[in-house]
Amino acid sequence: MTNYNIIASHFSETRNKNWPEFKDFTDRVKKGTRVLDLGCGNGRLLNLLKGKQINYFGIDNSEKLLEIAKKNHPNSKFFLADITKDSTYKNIGKFDYIFCLAVFHHLTSKKDQENTIKQIKKHLKKNGTLFLTTWNLWQAKYLKTHFKQRKNKIISIPYFLSDGIKPTRKIDRILYSYTKKELKDLIKKQNFKIKDIYYTKKGKKTNFLIGYNLCLIARI
């Protein structure tokens, strides 16, 4: 999994705005509910949840990103933990909504993928909703990368740190490339009811060849 402590400051600056897909999700969140944000990063999701009086819990494994989150949202609860570990979920209770946004492609092992979905199901209330997005790494832009690397759905995508003029450092991100069918099967295996699954580009539904993200809404 990528060490986001190394790139936290630069990453947060380039991820301080929410994507259109996120607003489609947060518009469905009712006031006064419990929300779990897995892989919360700098806490940007909270900007879309203002005024809803929710009970929010954010979890991330990057100390540096959580420092930024706590600075930006001092009245919210953030925890340093690994979302793939059972111990992370001890005594946190159940939630009306669980968000896992732009995170799942970082989980490259089947064991971690399956265990995380199991824990999500275990900690959703009855009729609770999961909102999940993963980077669509099967879009045309990355097909050449798949052909070159040939690593069975696991590929390396570089992240460049910059001084504002030129790149100063390259960080390799090791990522898992989900297809729509594979994500569907993983979610259905835990007996979720999939309400919608689709590709998006700048908030508009599209096909896998040009879609930036694969989005899923599911309930139990």
Q: DSSP readout, the chain?
A: ---HHHHHHHHHHHT-S--HHHHHHHTTPPTT-EEEEET-TT-GGGGGSTTS--EEEEEES-HHHHHHHHHH-TTSEEEE--TTSGGGGTT---EEEEEEES-GGG--SHHHHHHHHHHHHHTEEEEEEEEEEEE-TTSHHHHHHHHHH--TTEEEEEEEEE-SSSEEEEEEEEEE---HHHHHHHHHHTT-EEEEEEEEETTEEE-TTT-SEEEEEEE-
pLDDT confidence of residue 159: 72
* Residues listed for the chain: 220
Q: What's the mean pLDDT in 74-88?
A: 97
Domains of the chain from N-terminus onward: 4-138+177-219 (3.40.50.150)
> For 24-38, what is each residue's pLDDT tens digit?
999 999 999 999 999
Sole residue written with tokens 């959580």: 66
Contact 99, 25 (CB under 8 A): yes
**Distance between CA atoms of 82 and 163, rounded to whole angstroms?**
30
**Distance between CA atoms of 218 and 194, rounded to whole angstroms?**
4
Q: Which residue type, as a one-letter code, is found at position 92? A: I
pLDDT confidence of residue 145: 86
Averaged confidence pLDDT in the chain: 90
Q: What's the mean pLDDT in 100-107?
A: 96
pTM tops 0.85, yes or no = yes
pLDDT confidence of residue 14: 53
**Distance between CA atoms of 183 and 201, rounded to whole angstroms?**
18
Phi, psi of 31, rounded to the nearest 5 degrees: -65, 145
pLDDT bin (cut points 50, 70, 90) of residue 19 is confident
pLDDT bin (cut points 50, 70, 90) of residue 3 is low
Of all residues in the chain, what percent carry a pLDDT higher than 90? 76
pLDDT confidence of residue 135: 95
pLDDT of 18 above 80: no
Q: What's the mean pLDDT in 83-100?
A: 98
